[in-house]
């Protein structure tokens, strides 16, 4: 189905920018907007900043009461475990 709409000046440019930020075509972006509106879901199509993505992990760390040294130990243990698994399976380690 095709629909032609006339948008106010500047709206197309803003929509194209938002589609680009979301990593999709303008057609896909507008289709997604329409489908989300009809489904009642509330999601945005803009990419989140790294700070926004990490906010829950940071909050969890603060609430855990762990020290930075403990967090470092946990991450190093996980990294070493992954490295060991890759060594066993012959997968590249980089």
- The pLDDT tens digits of the residues spanning 69-90 come to 998 999 899 999 988 888 888 7
Rounded (5°) CA angle 70-61-82: 60
Through-space distance between the first and last CA atoms of the chain, rounded to whole angstroms: 47
Q: Does a structural domain hold residue 80?
A: yes
Question: In whole angstroms, what is the distance from residue 57 CA to residue 30 CA?
Answer: 32
- The pLDDT tens digits of the residues spanning 9-66 come to 899 999 999 999 889 999 999 998 888 888 876 555 556 788 888 888 889 888 989 8
Whether residue 39 is found in the same domain as residue 67: no
Task: Tokens 């489904």: give the residue.
Answer: 39
Residue 13 C-alpha from the chain's centroid: 23
Whether residue 42 is found in the same domain as residue 55: no
Whether residue 29 is found in the same domain as residue 58: no
Q: Does a structural domain hold residue 1?
A: no
Q: Does a structural domain hold residue 36?
A: yes
Question: In whole angstroms, what is the distance from residue 77 CA to residue 93 CA?
Answer: 15
Q: How many domains does the chain have?
A: 2
Residue 78 C-alpha from the chain's centroid: 22
Model confidence, pTM: 0.43
Structural domain including 57 reads 50-89
């Amino acid at each position: 189905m095709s629909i032609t709409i006339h948008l106010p000046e500047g709206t197309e440019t803003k929509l194209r920018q938002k589609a680009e930020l979301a990593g999709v075509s303008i057609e896909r972006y507008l289709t997604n907007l329409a489908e989300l509106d009809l489904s009642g879901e509330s999601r945005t199509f803009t990419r989140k900043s790294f700070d926004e993505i990490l906010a829950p992990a940071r909050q969890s760390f603060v609430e855990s009461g762990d020290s930075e040294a403990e967090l470092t130990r946990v991450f190093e243990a996980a990294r070493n475990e992954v490295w060991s698994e890759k060594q066993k399976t012959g997968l590249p380690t980089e």
